[in-house]
Amino acid sequence: MIFFLRIFLIASLLSGCVDFAVNHDKTKQLHQRASVNRHPPGEIYTMRGGLGGIFSKGMNRLESSLENDNDIPALSTVWFKGGPLAKDIMRHYEDSRSHRPIILAGHSLGANEQINIARTLNKSHIPVALLITVDPVIPATIPPNVCRAINFYKSSFVPLLSGLKVRADNPQKTHLENIDVTKLSGVNVNHFNIDSSPVIQQRMIKEVIQALDYPQADCVSHAKIRK
């Protein structure tokens, strides 16, 4: 009951009618640009939460930092456009001769939707190299096609306000790390700005770069030794 009440309150605050549609041209440009950067090519998708992502500025910041500071192309969208994004990813995967690492990151409702996208990709046997979730609002499990998953959440003595851990469907296939941000030095956040924390931003960028450095086929054997 607590979980459902928490979801209702957050959804009430975050729900809105701002439409940030998945731009298919931008998705196509991402695929083209990903082959001409200084890092191993990959496909990185960040996803904002409710209200068109007004409280998920960290996902925009992650996209911008990857592109401007690290020369890694990325695409940002909003949680209610997860269906079209999943179709774009599957279409590109099926049309491509070489498959680049797929990296998904999301905040709040965007985190839960990225898990849903990973599960949709799992049905088509499409692997996800890295899944980053930031304070998801619904209890969830990570599908076995995800090589590495990292979940940032904020615990609280008040159950209604406490963040959520996630679980892996198959821990033998998915290396999962749940990180309680209250235990990180220099992090003082709430649900609405947790993804903008400089500490968490740096960790997410590091995870993306590391995921790109490991070939898709080898990610399971390397995931547990990466630091």
Q: Given a cut of 80, is residue 191 above it in pLDDT?
A: yes
How large a percentage of the chain has pLDDT more than 70? Answer: 76
Q: What is the pLDDT of residue 157?
A: 82
What does the pLDDT look like over 96-113, one tens digit per residue?
A: 888 899 999 999 999 999
- What is the pLDDT of the chain when averaged over all its residues? 84
Report the alpha-carbon distance of residue 78 to residue 99 in Å, rounded: 24
Contact 22, 88 (CB under 8 A): yes
The pTM of the full predicted model, rounded to 2 decimals, is 0.82
More confident residue, 134 or 26: 134
Q: 105: which strand partners? A: 46, 132
Report the alpha-carbon distance of residue 66 to residue 101 in Å, rounded: 15
